[in-house]
Amino acid sequence: MNQRTPTLLYIDDDDALARLVDRGLTRRGYSVVHAASGEEGLERIRRASAEGGIDVVALDQYMPGLDGLETLEQIMAIPDAPPVVFVTASQDSSIAVTALKAGAADYLVKDVQGDFIPLLHVAAEGALRQAALQRAREEAEAEIHASRDRYAALAAERELLLREVNHRVGNSLQIIASLLHLQASSAAQDEVKAALTNAMGRVAAVAQVHRRLYTSQDLKSVVLNQYLDSLLEDLRRSAEGNRMSRLTLKAEPIEIDPDRAVAVGIIVNELVMNAVKYAYPDGAGPIHVELISQADDLLLSITDDGVGDNAKADPRSTGMGQRIVAAMASKLDASVERDPAHSGTRVVLKFGRMPAAPGKTSTAAAS
Q: What is the pLDDT of residues 286-345, one digit of tens each?
A: 999 999 998 889 999 999 988 876 665 555 566 787 888 899 899 889 999 998 888 889
Per-residue pLDDT at 1 exceeds 50: no
Per-residue pLDDT at 45 exceeds 60: yes
* pLDDT value for 356: 61
Average pLDDT value for residue range 70-84: 92
pLDDT level of residue 365 (50, 70, 90 thresholds)? very low
345 in Cβ contact with 288 (< 8 Å): no
**Coil, helix or strand for 113?**
coil
Per-residue pLDDT at 243 exceeds 70: no
pLDDT level of residue 49 (50, 70, 90 thresholds)? low
pLDDT level of residue 66 (50, 70, 90 thresholds)? very high
Percentage of the chain exceeding pLDDT 90 = 36
Q: Measure the CA angle with vertex 275, ends 246 and 179; round to 5°.
A: 85
pLDDT level of residue 361 (50, 70, 90 thresholds)? very low
Q: What is the pLDDT of residues 173-219, one digit of tens each?
A: 778 878 887 888 888 887 788 788 778 777 877 777 776 665 556 66
Weakest mean pLDDT among 8-12, 248-252, 260-264: 260-264
* pLDDT value for 41: 93
* pLDDT value for 363: 44
Q: How far is residue 186's CA from residue 189's CA, in Å, rounded to a whole number?
A: 9
pTM of the complete model: 0.54
Strand partners, 336: 349, 364
Q: What is the pLDDT of residues 87-126, one digit of tens each?
A: 988 888 888 899 999 999 999 999 888 899 999 999 999 9
Label residues 59-87 b or e (16+ Cβ within 10 Å = b).
Answer: bbbebeebbbbebbebbeeeeebbbbbbb
* pLDDT value for 190: 79
In 10 A of CB 142, how many CB atoms? 10
* pLDDT value for 239: 46
Where are the alpha helices (H) located in 216-365, listed in sequence order?
224-236, 258-278, 320-332
* pLDDT value for 108: 92
Weakest mean pLDDT among 23-27, 258-262, 311-315, 317-321: 311-315
DSSP 2: P
Mention every residue, 6+ apart, whose C-beta is less than 8 A from residue 334.
349, 350, 351, 362, 364
344 in Cβ contact with 308 (< 8 Å): yes
Work out the mean pLDDT of the chain and round it to a whole number. Answer: 83
Per-residue pLDDT at 30 exceeds 70: yes
Weakest mean pLDDT among 45-59, 121-135, 261-275, 309-323: 309-323
